[in-house]
Amino acid sequence: MRKKLFMVGLSIFMLIIGICISKLYFSAENILAKRCDNGDGASCYSVGVLYENASLAADYLQKGCNMDHAQSCRYLGDLMSNDTNTMQKACEYNSAKACFALAQANKENSNEAVKYFKKSCENGDENGCFELASIYAVEELDMDNITKAFYLFSELCEKNNYEACYRLGEIYEKSNIVRYPTRMAYAEKYYKLACDKAYVKKSCEAMDNLNYRNQDIMKFRKLCFLNDAYSCNKLAEIYSSIGMAVDYSFTIAAKFYKKSCDELNDKEACRRVVDYYYWIKDDANEAKYAGKNCDEGYMPHCIKAAHLYRYSEYSHNISFGHFDTNVMMSPDPLISEYVPKNINKAVSYLLKACDKNSKSACYKLGDIYENEVKDAKKATIYYEKVCEAGDEQGCKKMNIRK
């Protein structure tokens, strides 16, 4: 009986306490609300966080934010306001969520997206860091941005973000962040980490592809140095597909195409190497092999060789130096050589193509004779020839000359 009376008394006491606390709570809320209405931003924030109703909380936080109360803006930003101005203010006051939302809304404007993702990242949002690194990683030929992406993905990977580990593996595989053998080992390491720890499917696939490619490199390398042209060309294809470091991987590809062309007389390799010399800005070798192909009857390279000899004041010639085929380290640096303009060579290559009825070559011959050789009669002959073949520009030149 006493126990029952005690329990009833305790219940009544707790009820009274609850009523008192409720009155105090609502009293405090009313006081804070009045202070907020009177321009006290801190009170707006305090009353805003008391509300469980998100809509009512947002109303008071909005008032506080409009008074430039930093905590109100940050908290409101975390509630993901739909008002852009509010979100911008929240981001200014270091709301990572607000900055991230603004970045997502501005993804089509890369500069704005970078600005807001960077702010989100600086305020501790890992998603913002990941998105920022992903934007930097897209700039494949910009080593400054690749380096930024590298460090961001590295930090995220250390925090067990395995998608970032996969992206770090990608950078090691496809960029020139470190030299070839080392970067492939690191690429495999991070692909394996993402695959084993979180089964990131694309990372597992990338690891398999990397292993297959390394096996192919070993196989084709042996056959290439046993003078198998097909294997040399396959090696060139593999290295040209390695990725972002165009100046590096394309230089190695050019080396194998050059061997296949010079030593094994593979005509397709001779043609392909011209493209690679163009991509690595080796004008001297581009002109040399384009001329070789022209002499062997490949007309498109007659026009290319003529253009180089007509317009180049000088070009860059690469010295490959010692090339260790076991470790595939970087070739020697670029060495500049002066290659003088040669109008006679340009004319001779264009004549070969023009004789095979290339309208472009005939028109260019007319242009050279008109503007550089200063032979009006010959210029007229070639403009007339290209006009008769139906070329509008050639006919215009003929009409002007008449």
Q: Where residue 192 sits, what CATH number does that domain have?
A: 1.25.40.10
Check pLDDT > 80 for residue 78: no
Work out how many domains the chain is built from and give that number. Answer: 2
Residue 337 resides in a domain: no
pLDDT at 4: 52
Name the domain boundary from 168, 197, 224: 224
- Average pLDDT of the residues in 373-380: 86
Judgement on whether residues 131 and 212 belong to the same structural domain of the protein: yes
pLDDT band of 79, cuts 50, 70, 90: low
Judgement on whether residues 92 and 178 belong to the same structural domain of the protein: no
Judgement on whether residues 52 and 91 belong to the same structural domain of the protein: yes
- Average pLDDT of the residues in 46-61: 63
pLDDT at 159: 93
98 burial level (CB within 10 Å; 0-12, 13-18, 19+): buried
pLDDT at 394: 73
Judgement on whether residues 95 and 135 belong to the same structural domain of the protein: no
Judgement on whether residues 97 and 134 belong to the same structural domain of the protein: no
pLDDT at 336: 37
Residue 42 resides in a domain: yes
Judgement on whether residues 68 and 33 belong to the same structural domain of the protein: yes
Judgement on whether residues 146 and 94 belong to the same structural domain of the protein: no
Which residues form the domain of 95? Answer: 28-105
pLDDT band of 81, cuts 50, 70, 90: low
- Average pLDDT of the residues in 65-76: 66
Q: What pTM value is reported for the model?
A: 0.57
Each residue's pLDDT tens digit, 100-159: 888 888 888 888 889 989 999 999 999 999 999 999 988 655 778 888 999 999 999 999
pLDDT at 17: 52
Secondary structure (3-state) at 216:
helix
- Which one has a higher pLDDT value, 58 or 220? 220
pLDDT at 302: 92
The strand pairing partners of 282, in sequence order, are none
Q: Show Cβ contacts of residue 282 under 8 Å, excluding neighbours closer than 6 positions.
A: 254, 315, 316, 317, 318, 334
pLDDT at 393: 82
Residue 9 resides in a domain: no
Judgement on whether residues 219 and 131 belong to the same structural domain of the protein: yes
- Average pLDDT of the residues in 185-204: 86
If we measure between CA atoms, which residue out of 193, 188, 230, 194 comes closest to residue 212? 188
Please report which helix (H) or strand (E) contains residue 303, including its range.
helix 299-311
pLDDT at 328: 34
Judgement on whether residues 100 and 130 belong to the same structural domain of the protein: no
Judgement on whether residues 62 and 134 belong to the same structural domain of the protein: no
Contact 269, 261 (CB under 8 A): yes
Name the domain boundary from 105, 138, 161: 105
Residue 141 resides in a domain: yes
**What distance in Å separates the CA atoms of residue 191 and residue 205, rounded to the nearest whole number?**
9
347 burial level (CB within 10 Å; 0-12, 13-18, 19+): buried
Residue 84 resides in a domain: yes
Residue 129 resides in a domain: yes
pLDDT band of 23, cuts 50, 70, 90: very low
pLDDT at 337: 47
- Average pLDDT of the residues in 197-202: 82
pLDDT band of 386, cuts 50, 70, 90: confident
Q: The tokens 């380290």 sit on which residue?
A: 329
Amino acid at residue number 292: K
Name the domain boundary from 224, 256, 278: 224
